[in-house]
Amino acid sequence: MRGDKKYYAIIIFVFLVLFLIQYFQKEPTSYARTYSHLDKNPYGGYVLKDLLPEFMGGSEVQSLNRTLYEIKDSVLADKNLIIFADQLLMDQEDTYILLNAVNQGMTAFISAEKMGGPLLDTLKIGTDLDELYYVINANQDTVEARINRDIYRFKRDAVATYYSELDSVDHTVLAVNENDDPVAISVPFGSGKIVFNSTPLAFTNNYLFFEDNAQYASTLLSELPQRTTIWSEYYQLGRIEAQTPLRVILTTPALKFAYGVTIISLLLFMVFEAKRKQRIIPIIEPLKNTSLEFVKTIGKLYLKSGNHKDIAEKKIQYFLEFIRTKYYLNFQKFDKDFFEKLSAKSGKDVVQLKKLFDMMEKIKNQSEVSVQELKMLNTQLENIYGTDGR
């Protein structure tokens, strides 16, 4: 018992050390651009999630992790749509759903630094939009964005691209950078419109807290009617649903820590427990088969009596019983199939077995058996028995 207490004390000590390390360890700041409404890191969208209902006049804001094709245009038609992404690459199906919903009255707010796929080509056909080009401004560290006469300052990475080649496009410029290049435009389409914005970082936690940049986001989002709004995060985050219970554990810090401590504790317990209970295993001799020795003794008695025929028949009878109980063979007919099966199970040669059975058949048909014939039969039987009959 005293030894057990020592092992338990070690396990508890390790558990406490791991707990204290985990408890006092500061979670490192992630600078990944997630734009997620759940993410409180610099480039998450947690602050915007709290502000959006106010921007929408108290209307509901639904955060979904689904494609537009999964949401369907019939659901989107009387709502707003918001998408934030570093790079937006919609396929043909999603583009069709988007434009069909906008045509029916939806207002879409798409904020992405880069865009690709059939969306731009489709807009060109439908609204005489030539193409949207993104040009990176790498001349300075701090840049400005302007809405009318209101100026907002950002780091260069937040206002890195702008729209060009818009002369033939029916659009309204909503915001420009310091070179008067448009960074936000409104493009009418059917009964609705699409607001394109190339500064998604301006809507993240880091920038909404800086100076009065929340006004920049508020002014652009005011282009959306005050009604139910769907915020699709699929185009930045992809599929984020947990697929296995273990993935849920490993993606949750508290559960991941508990899981690790449990595994370590179990391993320590197994090591100490195995070491404590290990004993010398005694060697147990297998039981000896004395049946053959008994038969040999009886055979010697018969040999002394001189009845060689009787001895031979009893040896043959015992041998056949041995085959039946050992190899489960039916010996009503000693044909080719029987010898092949016996050879496969005993490991003896088919020719050797055939000679033995021929000898046995000959002895059965004789009225007397000589000492030499009895010895030959016994030798053949011993060769077949090998170690199996012992």
- The two structure tokens encoding residue 382: 């011993």
**In this structure, is residue 364 part of a structural domain?**
yes
78 in any annotated domain: yes
Sheet holding 229-232, edge to edge: 61-64, 229-232, 80-89, 107-116, 192-197, 182-189, 172-177, 142-147, 150-155
Q: Which residues contact 379 (CB under 8 A, 6 or more apart)?
A: none
Residues with Cβ within 8 Å of residue 172, at least 6 apart in sequence = 185, 186
- The total number of structural domains that make up the chain: 3
260 and 164 in a common domain: no
Q: Do 15 and 92 fall within a single domain?
A: no
Token pair in block for residue 216: 């920049």
What contacts 239, CB < 8 A, 6 or more positions away? 65
- Burial, 218: exposed, middle or buried (Cβ in 10 Å; 0-12, 13-18, 19+)? middle
pLDDT at residue 125, rounded to an integer: 33
- Does residue 119 contact residue 132 with C-beta atoms inside 8 Å? no
* Whether residue 314 is found in the same domain as residue 376: yes
111/56 Cα distance (integer angstroms):
17
What pLDDT is recorded for position 45?
A: 92
Contact 236, 35 (CB under 8 A): yes
Confirm whether 37 is domain-assigned.
no
- Tell me the CATH number at 194: 3.40.50.880
* Measured distance CA(130)–CA(126) in Å, rounded: 10
Tokens of 48: 């915007």
Asked if residue 145 belongs to a domain, the reply is: yes
Please indicate, yes or no, whether residues 140 and 227 belong to a single structural domain of this protein.
yes
Beta-sheet pairing, 107-116 with 80-89:
parallel
What is the residue whose two structure tokens read 């010898």?
339
**Quick one: 110 and 209 in the same domain?**
yes
Q: Is 32 a domain residue? A: no
C-alpha 51/C-alpha 43 separation (Å) is 16
Tokens matching residue 76: 């989107």
**Do residues 212 and 63 both lie within one domain?**
yes
> What's the whole-model pTM score?
0.56
Is residue 127 assigned to a domain? yes
Q: 60 and 206: one domain?
A: yes
Indicate if 98 and 140 belong to the same structural domain. Answer: yes
Domain span at residue 354 reads 291-385
Query: Does 235 share its domain with 264?
Result: no
Shared-domain flag, residues 202 and 99: yes
Please tell me whether residues 234 and 323 are part of one structural domain.
no
Tens digit of pLDDT at every position of the chain (390 positions):
455 667 667 777 777 777 777 666 676 778 888 899 988 899 999 999 998 988 888 889 998 888 898 888 667 888 999 999 998 888 889 988 999 999 999 999 999 888 777 876 776 632 333 233 334 444 566 778 899 889 998 877 788 788 777 766 788 889 998 888 888 989 898 999 999 998 999 999 989 888 888 899 999 999 999 999 999 999 988 766 545 556 566 666 777 777 778 888 777 777 766 665 556 677 777 776 666 676 667 666 666 666 778 888 888 888 888 888 888 777 677 777 888 888 888 888 888 888 888 888 888 888 887 878 878 888 888 877 764 544
390 in a domain, yes or no?
Answer: no
Q: Does 284 map to a domain?
A: no
Q: What is the pLDDT of residue 231?
A: 93
Residues 39, 29: Cα–Cα separation, whole Å: 11
Q: What is the pLDDT of residue 384?
A: 77
Q: Are residues 356 and 229 in the same domain?
A: no
